[in-house]
Structure 1
C-alpha cells in the first residue's frame, strides 16, 4: 500500500533565507506548529530524532535516516514505525528557486507499508493540515524584512 501527501506554498524570499529558517532546528519549538523538534547531526546517512505533532493528533517521535541534504534546495529522510515495511515515510522539503525573487516550498511524504490503509484518513486530514500550517509559518518568517 502506498499514499502520498504533497503540499506547496509560494514564498516571497530567497532560497538562502528560507533554508536558514528551515535548517535552524534549535528554533523549531518557537515557530513550527507541526515538527516540534529535530535533534542530531543532520547529514546524509545519519539517524536523527524527530518529534511531530499533527493537529488534533497525538505526538510521535521517530528516528529517520537522512537521505538528502542539498544546501538551499532539499532535505529528505526515511523513517519507519517499529520496523521497515510496516509503515514507512519518506519526508521531503524542497525549495524551488523561481528566479524572480520567489521560491516554491514543497513539503511531501510518501508512505508505504501494510499499515498505510489504517492511517489513510488521519494522513489526509491531520498530517496534511500539519504540513500546510508549517508551510504558512515558514512563509511568514521568510517574508519578514
Structure 2
C-alpha cells in the first residue's frame, strides 16, 4: 500500500506539470524509486507506462485547447509539452481516433463557446510570480 502512495506522488507531479519536460528520472525521484523499479511498479499499478500516462494527460489538455483556444496546432503541441509535432499528431490520433486538425474541425462544427484568444491561453499556462512576500508599493525584483 505504501508503494501506491509514492507512485501517486509521481502521478500528481505528471498531472500538475504535464507541460514541463519531465523524464523518467524526475518522475522516479518524486516517487523515491530507481527509474527501473518505478517504471515497473507504475505500469503494474496504473496499467500503463509513465510515459504513456504523461502523453495521455498532454493529449487530454490539447483536446481542451483545440476546442476552445485560438492557437495553431503547433502552438498547442508545444504548450502541452510535446517537443515534436509529428509525435504529438501520432499520439493524438492514436488516442482520439483522428488528427488534431480534424478534431478541431469537428469541435468548431458543433459550435460552443467562442475561442479563447491565443495570448490569453498562453499567459494562463505560465506560472504567476509569488506576491505573498511583497508589500504594497514595493518594486518587483
Shorter-chain TM range is under 0.3
Whose relative contact order is higher, 1 or 2, with alpha carbons under 8 Å and at least 6 apart?
1
Q: In proportion to residue count, which structure has more helix?
A: 2
Which of 1 and 2 has greater Rg?
2
TM-score by length of 1: 0.25
TM-score normalized with structure 2 length: 0.26
More strand by share: 1
